[in-house]
Amino acid sequence: MKLLKVRLENIFAYKDATFDFSATTPDKNIVLIWGRNGMGKTSFLNAMKLLFTGAEQTEFRMVGVPPAPLSGPQYVLGDGSQWTGLINREARRRASALGEPVTAQIVASWLDNVGETVTATRWWTVEAEEYTTGIIVERGSDRKTAQPAQAILEDTIPSRLVRFFFFDGEDIKSLAESSGSYQADFNRLLQITFLEDLARELVALSGDRKRSGLESSLRKALDEAQASLAKAKTLQLEAREALEEIESLLSIDSVELRRVQIRRANLSSGASEAQRKLLEEQLRSENNKLSKLIDQIVRELPKDVPILANLGLVQKALQEIVARMSHAGSTEAKFANNVSSRLKGWIAEGCPALSDSEGARLSDFLSERINGLLRVENGSGLFAAVSPAVLERLVGRFETWVIAGGGLRSTRGRALIEAYRLGNSVQEIKRNLFNLEVGANGNAEEFRQVSNKVVELEEGIAKQNQLKGQWTVRAAEAVADEQRWAAEVKRLEESQDQVSQAAKDSRFVLKAVKALNEISERIKIVTRAELETMLNDRFKRIIQHPLIDRIGIDEGYVLTFYEKSGKPIGRTSLSSGMKQLAATALLWAMKDSADSDVPVIIDTPLGRIDRENQEHLLRAYYPVLSKQVIILPTNAEIDDRKLKLLSQKVATHFRILNTSGDAATVEEGSLV
C-alpha cells in the first residue's frame, strides 16, 4: 500500500489542505509534515485514523485525558465543554451565519497491492444540530458505499489495528506498560489468528451439522432458545451502549457542576456560618410544616368541598327529606308492607276455592290499593321515589352536615390560610438566605443564575444516575438471561441421539478444531520467540542501555525487562522515554515480523527521548520502518542538525499554515 494523496476539508483544524505523497520511493520513503504546536499535526493524524475506523463504535469516540467516551452526536458536533467536535469550527460558524449546511470530508487515495488506485471518502454534513455521514470507496469503475465500503477499508487496515500504524510517539509507551490487554490485537497484527478464525468457523459448522440431525420438535425448541439467547446478547449491547452514553453525560455534567459551584462560591459574600445554619434550620422546619399541612389538605379537603361550599343546598335538602317523611309516615308504610307480604297467604286460607293464579292476582290488586292510600299528594319532589327506610338513613347524615358544616368550613379555611402563611414564610427565609450569600453589594442576578444552574445540573445528574441504575439492572438481567439460554441451548443440543450421522460429523469437525487450536498455539509460541529475538535486536539498534540486557515477551505480550544477571527490572522504575523506546522497538519488530507494507504516520516522533537516542532513531529506525513513513515534527524536535541525518531519505516536506487555529492549509517546504 502506498498513499498517493490526502485531502482534508473542514475537518478538525483544517479548512482545506491537500497532501501529495506520490513522490515517495523505496530510496526516499520519508515525508515530513512540519508544524508548530496547535497548528494541525495532531488533526492530520486523527483524520487519517478516522478515515479507516469511522466513529460508529464507542472505542473510536474516546477523547480527553483520561479518555472518556462520547455519543455519536457529541463526537461530531461537540459536547459543549471539553470537545468542540470534528467539524472545523470556523467553517461551522460561517455556515451557521449563512443558514447553510457545512460538509467536512477526508479523501485519501492509494495504490493497493496489485497496483490499482483506490480512493476513499468519509464525509459528514451538518445542518443546525443535525448531521448525516457516509463512506465511499472507489476502485476503477467499481464504487461501494456504506457497509461494503467499510469492509474494503477493514481489509486494507483493520480498524482495531489502525492505532499501531498511525500513532503519537509519546502515547505508544502504554504498549510497554500493558498487562495483556493488547493480546488479541497483537495476534491479529502478527497475522497468526487465521487458524483460530478457521477453528471458530468449524465450531459453527459443527453446531449446524448437529442441529441438522435434530427432530423437528427439538429443532423448533432449539431455534427458540437460540433466538432468546441472541435477544439477551442484543439487550446486553444496548445496555452497555446506554451506560457508556450515561457515563459520558455524567462526566461532562460533573465537570460543569464543579465549575459553577466554584463560581457560586466566588460570588458568595462569605457570610457567617452560624447565620446560615440558623436560616437553613428554619427553612427545613417551615418546609416540614408546610409539607405535612399540604398532605392533610390534599387528603381531607377534596371530599368536603362539595358539601362545605353548598351548605344552603344541604339545609334545603334536609327540609325536603323531613317533609317527605312527615307526609308518608314510616310506621304506616311498614304496616302496609307487612299486610302486602301476607295477603297472598291470607287469601289462600280464607278462599280455598280460588286457584293459585287467581289468588295471586287478587293479592296484587289489594296491595296496590293499600299502598295507594299512602301516596303523598305531591309526588314529584326530589325524594319522591326514595323509600322511607333510605330516607331515615339520609336524614341522619344531612343533620350532621347542617350542624357541623359551619365549624368544619372554618377549620378547612384556617388550614388554607396557614398553608399560605407557611408558603410566604418559606419564600422569605429563602430570600434571607440568598441575601446572606450574595451580600448587599453582590452581583445578585449572576448569583441567582449560577444557583439555578447548580440546581439544574444536580437534578440532571440525579436523573442520569437513576437511568444508570435502571440500565445496570437491565444489563445484569440480560447477562443472567444469556447464561440461562446458553445452558438451555447446550442442553437441547446434547439431548439428541449422539449416534446419529449428524452427531458423528459434528464430533469429527470438533476433532479438527482441537488439532487446529493445537497448531495455532505452536505457531504462537514460535512467533513470539521470533518476535522476542527481533524486539531485542531492534531495541539495541536504537539504544544501548547499561541496565537493560534483555526484554522478554510472555503470551499476553507483556514486556519484562532483565538485567545481565537475569533479575527482572520493575517497569515502574523505568522512565517514560525508556518505555517509549521499548514500545517503538516492539512495533518495529511486529511490523517486520508481519511483513506489512502499510504506511506509518507518527506524531511527536522524538517526544521525551534524549538527544543521543534521538539520533539513533533518526539513523536506524525511521528510514527502514516502512516503505512509506510520514513524520509530524516541530522545529524543536528536528532541527537543522537532525534533519541532515534524515535528508537523504526525505522525499517531500510540507509546512502547515494556520493563522487562526481553525483555518489550517498546507504548502511545500520545511520549518528548518
> What CATH number is attached to the domain comprising 468?
1.10.287.1700
Reported as half-sphere exposure (CB side, CA atoms, 13 A), residue 194 has a value of 4
Residue 246 domain-assigned (yes or no): yes
Residue 581 domain-assigned (yes or no): no
Q: For 585-615, give the DSSP string.
A: HHHHHHHHHHT----EEEESSSTT--HHHHH
* Collapsed DSSP state (helix, strand, coil) of residue 186: helix
The residues pairing with 401 across neighbouring beta strands, listed in sequence order, are none
Domain shared by 114 and 136, yes or no: yes
C-alpha 550/C-alpha 567 separation (Å) is: 10
Grid cell digits, residue 490: 447446550
Q: What is the pLDDT, as a whole number, of residue 108? A: 98
Domain shared by 127 and 98, yes or no: yes
568-569, strands of its sheet edge to edge: 550-553, 559-562, 568-569
Residue of 128, 134, 130 whose CA lies nearest to 100: 128
Most trustworthy range by pLDDT among 165-179, 474-488, 500-514: 474-488
Grid cell digits, residue 183: 493480546
Q: What is the pLDDT, as a whole number, of residue 216? A: 61
Residue 402 domain-assigned (yes or no): yes
Asked if the model's pLDDT at residue 173 lies above 90, the reply is: no
pLDDT higher at 14 or 79 = 14
C-alpha 588/C-alpha 569 separation (Å) is: 22
pLDDT higher at 31 or 525 = 31
Grid cell digits, residue 276: 446560615
Least trusted range by pLDDT, from 67-76, 282-291, 504-513, 601-610: 504-513
Asked if the model's pLDDT at residue 149 lies above 70, the reply is: yes
**395, 410, 438: which is the final residue of a domain?**
438
Most trustworthy range by pLDDT among 20-29, 506-515, 522-531, 540-549: 20-29
Least trusted range by pLDDT, from 123-127, 154-158, 369-373, 628-632: 369-373
- Per-residue pLDDT band for 272 (boundaries 50, 70, 90) equals low
pTM: 0.59
Domain shared by 16 and 141, yes or no: yes
Q: What is the pLDDT, as a whole number, of residue 413? A: 85
Residue 533 domain-assigned (yes or no): no
Least trusted range by pLDDT, from 264-268, 431-435, 607-611: 264-268
Residue of 41, 53, 52, 55 whose CA lies nearest to 12: 41
Main-chain dihedrals φ then ψ at residue 632, nearest 5 degrees:
-115, 85
Residue 155 domain-assigned (yes or no): yes
Cα→Cα distances 297→149, 301, 341, 402, 407, Å: 67, 5, 50, 22, 16
Domain shared by 15 and 81, yes or no: yes
Q: Which residues contact 642 (CB under 8 A, 6 or more apart)?
A: 614, 615, 618
Q: Is the peptide bond before 546 cis (omega within 30 degrees of 0)?
A: no
Q: What is the pLDDT, as a whole number, of residue 314? A: 79
- Average pLDDT of the residues in 204-227: 71
Domain shared by 265 and 155, yes or no: no
- Per-residue pLDDT band for 499 (boundaries 50, 70, 90) equals very low
Percentage above 90 pLDDT, the chain = 35
- 453-462 per-position pLDDT tens digit: 888 888 989 9
Q: What is the pLDDT, as a whole number, of residue 150? A: 96
Domain shared by 663 and 620, yes or no: yes
- Average pLDDT of the residues in 248-268: 75
Domain shared by 458 and 402, yes or no: no
pLDDT higher at 44 or 501 = 44
Grid cell digits, residue 219: 429443532
Query: Per the structure, how many domains does the chain have?
Result: 3
- 349-378 per-position pLDDT tens digit: 888 888 888 888 888 888 777 766 665 444
Q: What is the pLDDT, as a whole number, of residue 377? A: 45
C-alpha 580/C-alpha 613 separation (Å) is: 11
Longest alpha-carbon distance in the chain: 144
Main-chain dihedrals φ then ψ at residue 544, nearest 5 degrees:
-115, 105
Asked if the model's pLDDT at residue 442 lies above 60, the reply is: no
Contact 63, 75 (CB under 8 A): yes
Grid cell digits, residue 407: 365549624
The residues pairing with 2 across neighbouring beta strands, listed in sequence order, are 111
Grid cell digits, residue 121: 471518502
- 82-98 per-position pLDDT tens digit: 889 999 999 999 999 99
Asked if the model's pLDDT at residue 558 lies above 80, the reply is: yes
- Per-residue pLDDT band for 498 (boundaries 50, 70, 90) equals very low
Asked if the model's pLDDT at residue 463 lies above 80, the reply is: yes
- Average pLDDT of the residues in 162-181: 81
**394, 413, 438: which is the final residue of a domain?**
438
Number of H helices, E strands in the chain: 18, 17
C-alpha 290/C-alpha 415 separation (Å) is: 10
Q: What is the DSSP letter of 160?
A: G
Parallel, antiparallel, or unpaired for β 14-20 and 2-11?
Answer: antiparallel
Domain shared by 639 and 652, yes or no: yes
Cα→Cα distances 3→20, 48, 130, 304, 630, Å: 8, 11, 33, 84, 10
Domain shared by 150 and 7, yes or no: yes
Asked if the model's pLDDT at residue 654 lies above 50, the reply is: yes
Grid cell digits, residue 611: 538527544
Contact 630, 602 (CB under 8 A): yes
- Average pLDDT of the residues in 247-268: 76
pLDDT higher at 613 or 386 = 613
Q: Which residues contact 209 (CB under 8 A, 6 or more apart)?
A: 502, 505, 506, 509
Domain shared by 251 and 285, yes or no: no
Residue 583 domain-assigned (yes or no): no
**438, 471, 486: which is the final residue of a domain?**
438
- Per-residue pLDDT band for 269 (boundaries 50, 70, 90) equals low
Handedness of CA 186, 191, 196, 202 (dihedral sign): positive
Q: What is the pLDDT, as a whole number, of residue 35? A: 93
- Average pLDDT of the residues in 271-284: 75
Q: What is the pLDDT, as a whole number, of residue 378? A: 43
Burial tier of 328 (Cβ tally within 10 Å: 0-12, 13-18, 19+): buried
Q: Is 85 left (phi over 0), alpha (psi -120 to 50) or beta?
A: left
Q: What is the DSSP letter of 382?
A: T
Residue 578 domain-assigned (yes or no): no
- 402-429 per-position pLDDT tens digit: 787 778 888 888 888 888 888 888 888 8
pLDDT higher at 171 or 466 = 466
Domain shared by 415 and 446, yes or no: no
- Average pLDDT of the residues in 524-538: 92
Burial tier of 116 (Cβ tally within 10 Å: 0-12, 13-18, 19+): exposed
- Average pLDDT of the residues in 368-394: 64
Residue 451 domain-assigned (yes or no): yes
Asked if the model's pLDDT at residue 497 lies above 70, the reply is: no
Contact 637, 604 (CB under 8 A): yes
- Per-residue pLDDT band for 317 (boundaries 50, 70, 90) equals confident
- Per-residue pLDDT band for 73 (boundaries 50, 70, 90) equals very high
CA 355 to chain centre: 88
CATH of the domain at 1: 3.40.50.300
Alpha helices in 351-500 (DSSP H): 356-372, 388-438, 444-495
Grid cell digits, residue 290: 408546610
- Planar angle of CA 75, 80, 85, nearest 5 degrees: 30
Domain shared by 135 and 255, yes or no: no
Residues 185-223 as b or e (16 or more Cβ within 10 Å = b): bbbbbbebbebbeebeebeebbbebbbebbeeeeeebbe
Q: What is the pLDDT, as a whole number, of residue 400? A: 79
Host domain of residue 403: 281-329+374-438
**Taking all residues of the chain, what is their mean pLDDT, rounded to a whole number?**
84
